[in-house]
């Protein structure tokens, strides 16, 4: 009886180990963003090999969202090729991507390949082909305006392609309303006030008002996230980003006050 119980116990342990191994295999790898509260809500960071959506209004918010997506791509695949697929209307409305601007954000322009497509259908076809290539680090799909082509079926196809290859898809939607999708996360990004960090600086570090409105495996939230270009990570902004004036080394009025009180 004892040997039978031990055999049954060993069998159960073996099954539990197999279940645990399968669970680890199915659990997506995550990359920390650097922002403590956002990473906690994301249960450790942004899931790799998944689809993430970033929405923004037209105008200056589109520029902020583009910078935010560039930061996400920089965290996910800092030294791997990045394919950026843009609907041609995006380039007519917002202009071409600036390689010098991406370099200032900390990205290597030599790792970036841009593709301009005629419409949403061509964008989806190019994205499906790109996500099948596991040599890429990430694929950005940039689409402008409302469209019925990016429905739940199209989102599901992108998700399956990303899961199969392990390549992350970043869907950038400008001037559009969120629709039902299979995306892992959905963000709404706005520009945040970025005061200069020093008197000689032309502008301060990029600050984003990032609202996580959908998180399939965690909490949502809204944070002001500062992008550190040199470290290539998001952080909490400093409590006081303005530099403090240095204390004067020579204060003759205080010296005269001390002399009067001594006399």
Contact 24, 39 (CB under 8 A): no
User: pLDDT digit of tens for each residue in the chain (263 aa)?
Assistant: 566 666 666 666 666 555 444 444 456 799 999 999 999 999 999 999 999 999 999 888 999 999 999 999 999 988 899 999 999 888 888 888 889 989 989 889 999 999 999 999 999 999 999 999 999 999 999 999 999 999 999 999 999 999 999 999 999 999 999 999 999 999 999 999 876 665 555 567 889 999 999 999 899 999 999 999 889 999 998 765 444 444 445 555 554 444 454 44
CA distance 168 to 235: 22
CATH for 49-235 is 3.40.50.300
Q: What are the residues whose beta carbons fall under 8 Å from the beta carbon of 121, sequence distance 6 or more?
A: 149
pTM metric for this prediction: 0.79
Beta-carbon count within 10 A of 26 CB = 8
Give the DSSP per-residue string, 26-89.
HSPPEE--S-HHHHHHTTSSEESSSEEEEEE-STHHHHHHHHHHHHHHHHH-TTS-EEEEEEHH
Question: What is the distance of C-alpha 72 from the center of its chain?
Answer: 3
d(CA 55, CA 214): 12
- The whole-angstrom separation of Cα 227 and Cα 96 is 22
CA-CA distance, 155 to 131, in Å (whole number)? Answer: 13
**DSSP β-ladder status, 30-31 and 46-47:** antiparallel
Per-domain residue ranges of the chain: 49-235
pLDDT 10s digits, 163-189: 999 999 999 999 999 999 999 999 999
Distance (Å, whole) CA 234 – CA 227: 5
The distance from CA 218 to its chain's CA centroid, rounded to whole angstroms, is: 16
The structure tokens listed for 202 are: 């032309």
């Amino acid at each position: 009886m004892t040997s039978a119980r031990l055999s049954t116990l060993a069998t159960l342990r073996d099954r539990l180990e197999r279940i645990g191994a399968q669970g680890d295999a199915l659990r997506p790898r995550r990359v920390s963003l650097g922002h403590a509260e956002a990473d906690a809500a994301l249960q450790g960071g942004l899931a790799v090999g998944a689809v993430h959506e970033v929405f923004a209004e037209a105008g200056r918010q589109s520029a902020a969202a583009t910078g935010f997506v560039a930061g996400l791509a920089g965290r996910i695949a800092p030294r791997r090729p990045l394919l950026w697929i843009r609907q041609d209307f995006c380039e007519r409305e917002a202009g071409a991507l600036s390689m010098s601007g991406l370099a200032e954000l900390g990205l290597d322009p030599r790792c970036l390949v841009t593709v301009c497509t005629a419409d949403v259908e061509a964008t989806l076809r190019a994205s499906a082909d790109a996500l099948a290539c596991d040599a890429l680090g990430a694929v950005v799909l940039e689409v402008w305006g409302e469209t019925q082509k990016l429905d739940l079926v199209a989102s599901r196809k992108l998700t399956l392609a990303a899961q199969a290859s392990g390549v992350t898809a970043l869907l950038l939607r400008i001037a559009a309303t969120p629709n039902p999708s299979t995306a892992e996360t959905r963000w709404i990004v706005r520009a945040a006030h970025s005061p200069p960090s020093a008197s000689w600086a032309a502008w301060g570090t990029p600050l984003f008002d990032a609202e996580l409105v959908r998180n399939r495996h965690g909490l949502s939230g809204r944070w002001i996230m500062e992008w550190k270009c040199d470290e290539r990570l998001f952080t909490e902004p400093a409590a006081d980003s303005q530099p403090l004036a240095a204390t004067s080394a020579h204060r003759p009025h205080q010296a005269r006050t001390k002399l009067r009180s001594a006399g």
